Amino acid sequence: MKEVKFSLVYRDMWQSAGKYVPRVDQLLRVAPYIIKMGCFARVETNGGGFEQVNLLFGENPNAAVRQWTAPFREAGIQTHLLDRALNGLRMSPVADDIRQLFYKVKKAQGTDIARTFCGLNDIRNIEPSIRYAKAAGMISQAALSITVSPVHTVEYYTNMALELIRLGADEICLKDMAGIGRPESLGKIVASIKAAFPDIPVSYHSHAGPGFSVASVLEVCRAGCDYVDAAMEPLSWGTGHADILTLQPMLKDAGFKVPEIDMEAYMKVRSLTQEFMDEFLGLYISPKNRLMNSLMIASGLPGGMMGSLMADLETNLASINKSRDKAGKEAMTQDQLLIKLFDEVTYVWPKVGYPPLVTPFSQYVKNLALMNVIQMEKGKERWNMIADDIWDMLLGKAGKLPGELDPVIIEKAKAEGRDFFSGNPQSNYPDALDRFRAKMKEKGWDTGKDDEELFEYAMHPSQYEPYKSGKAKEDFNIDVDKRRAEKAAKGRLPQDFPQNMVVDVNGEKYRVQVSYDDKATGIATPAPAASAEKPSPSTSPALAFATASSADAKEIVAPLEGKFVLTKNSAETPLKIGDTVQKGQVICYIEAMKTYNAIQSEWDGTLVDILVPSGSAVSEDDVLMRLS
């Protein structure tokens, strides 16, 4: 009787549902009951966005990982993390010495298995991770990023798996991140791997959204799969994963040896997870993420990304509807935008070389598609805005694309003077630990036990500094309070009733907040408001940064909503008032949708105004700078 073991993807359950994961005190409350369930041989405890999220709400991720892995280690349950090969634990590539330190730190913190994937399936990016994980004493599980395209065939994935095993991978994972892998084909891939290397453990990870996952689990297990990832209520299904309560009896009925489930413990884990959602995590989870959606089959967008996408889409929709309102068009609904986005992803994906839609490349393709939708809504052409990170993917700096680029992309690259790269991606990112160690010494920061704080700073510098200063926790608490207030306000007012309005009284505009009774929070005496089209500097602190002005100055406006920054990293020199600017020069960035969108000057000139502090939130069409 073939034995199949289960892994609970507790971290990915949260990431696939929304933006945040539980705090470490919450994780430590639920861990004993996960263990008591008795059905999990493995638990996914960190990786991917886990540590960035810790930093964002002001929690030390190293302390969290050490405490979170400890009870499972004591119970004999293996823990695993998800890492992104060249990108480590973040969206962008990291230096080689940071990658080496990564595995040493995680092993010291109690993580047993490193599940490594490359979003482009470029083996050159995975191979160092295999070596570094094994050198640190971890089990190296190399992942195949599963998708369906003319180039992603059974033979393609079989050859990739066999090469990874020859390079030293201890295990193979079929990472079906969008859940669009076809059951028959997935079974053939597993069977081919087992035929060549029968003793190599194979894991299957899939998201439930498109509806294939349960059938796929049965097929891969029949082909010899050893481990299956599972989720549980209230975060199973939808953009998440199949529930253990479905998978266990299905496999048992099919003749597999599977562990029994302690239902009392299951209900306790379910109850605690819901409690965490009710406390604050549910504020970042869209109800739509609980739904299955076969539209995802064509677009191939992964479940892990759909969780945050639905939360972000509200902001994108507001930006689009602002443009539609100016053009006298009817407002678009979120469902209409989602369909437009899915259609555009389907159009864009082949033209950018079929990168598997997994982090970060799923975000890049989605962002590119969404920017195309936004630009076309404004009457502009496709490909008008391509962020630098996306260009790195297109140019080959992150690895080799599986397919060919469309000629329109190649011509655009040539027109902008961008060079294509065919070498080893890691060579673009030289060692950096010494630089971060020196920075920590200057700041008086401890590098931590096993250099774990050095690792964290080097891996996530833009999140680590606000964490250390306390600003991250402060900003997070403000955002939670704001969301709670908005949720409470929605309970008092109908969904379609405006809570904030600008009214015109005899030519004077007033901004008012509306409620059904004078006891509700947020009631304010009407006060003169700026024009509904554009706030004035006197009433908008974000636009009152500089006082220099010029009557005939040319305005640089924000093409989308996001965070305004003058530079995207410390290697760049920020512009200052008085600097000469050339047409086409990158003068600032809007950070949105996890990428830095470069803003280029449309004119030659001299910078006379910077109207927004770097790091401030801006809306579409806000004036950022002025040139004379």
Residue range 470-499, pLDDT digits in tens: 999 999 999 999 999 988 887 654 544 445
Residue 376 has pLDDT above 90, yes or no: no
Residue 289 has pLDDT above 80, yes or no: no
**Residue 564 and residue 618 in contact, taking contact as beta carbons nearer than 8 Å:** yes
**Residue 428 and residue 396 in contact, taking contact as beta carbons nearer than 8 Å:** no
> Which residues on neighbouring strands pair with residue 512, listed in sequence order?
501
For the record, the structure tokens of 361 come out as 């490349």
220 CB-contact burial (10 Å; exposed 0-12 / middle 13-18 / buried 19+) = buried
pLDDT in tens, 563-599: 898 988 766 888 999 999 998 888 999 887 667 888 8
DSSP string covering 364-404, please?
HHHHHHHHHHHHHHTT--TTS---HHHHHHHHTTT---SSP
Q: Which amino acid is at 316?
A: N
Confidence class of residue 326 from pLDDT cuts 50, 70 and 90? confident
Q: Rounded to whole angstroms, how far apart are CA atoms 167 and 440?
A: 36
pLDDT at 511: 53
Write down the H helix ranges in 518-574.
none
**Residue 43 and residue 111 in contact, taking contact as beta carbons nearer than 8 Å:** no
Q: Rounded to whole angstroms, how far apart are CA atoms 313 and 106?
A: 34
pLDDT in tens, 124-155: 999 999 999 999 999 999 999 999 999 999 99
- Domain spans of the chain, in order of start: 296-428, 495-529, 537-628
- If you average pLDDT over every residue of the chain, what do you get? 87
Residue of 315, 319, 292, 317 lying closest to 303 (CA atoms):
292
Share of the chain above pLDDT 90, in %: 60
Q: Rounded to whole angstroms, how far apart are CA atoms 169 and 514?
A: 61
Write down the H helix ranges in 205-302.
213-222, 244-253, 263-279, 296-299
If one looks up domain 537-628 in CATH, what number appears? 2.40.50.100
pLDDT in tens, 218-259: 999 999 999 999 999 999 999 899 999 999 999 999 999 999
For the record, the structure tokens of 177 come out as 């991140």
Residue 243 DSSP class: B
Q: Rounded to whole angstroms, how far apart are CA atoms 407 and 119?
A: 23
pLDDT at 305: 58
Cα angle 123-126-127, degrees, rounded to a multiple of 5: 85
Among all chains, which residue has been given the structure tokens 């028959």?
184
Distances (CA, A) of 620 to 319, 421, 560: 6, 34, 4
Instruction: Please tell me the pTM assigned to this model.
Output: 0.78
Q: Tell how far CA 440 is from the center of its chain.
A: 27
Among all chains, which residue has been given the structure tokens 């092993």?
107
Lowest mean pLDDT among 75-84, 206-215, 337-346, 442-451: 337-346
Q: Which residues fall within 8 angstroms of residue 298, CB to CB, at 6 or more apart?
A: 342, 346
Residue of 243, 253, 249, 251 lying closest to 207 (CA atoms):
243
**CA torsion angle 346 308 178 157 (round to 10):** 90
327 or 299: whose pLDDT is higher? 327
Q: Which residues fall within 8 angstroms of residue 342, CB to CB, at 6 or more apart?
A: 295, 296, 298, 299, 301
Other C-beta atoms closer than 10 Å to the C-beta of 570 total: 10
Confidence class of residue 320 from pLDDT cuts 50, 70 and 90? confident
SS3 content of the chain, % helix, strand, coil (to 5): 45, 15, 40
> Do the bridges between strand 527-528 and strand 500-505 make them parallel or antiparallel, or are there none, so unpaired?
unpaired
- What is the Rg, in whole angstroms, of the alpha carbon atoms belonging to the chain? 25
Q: Rounded to whole angstroms, how far apart are CA atoms 505 and 528?
A: 10
Backbone angles phi, psi at 538, to 5 degrees: -70, -25
pLDDT in tens, 527-538: 444 443 443 433
pLDDT in tens, 436-447: 999 999 999 999
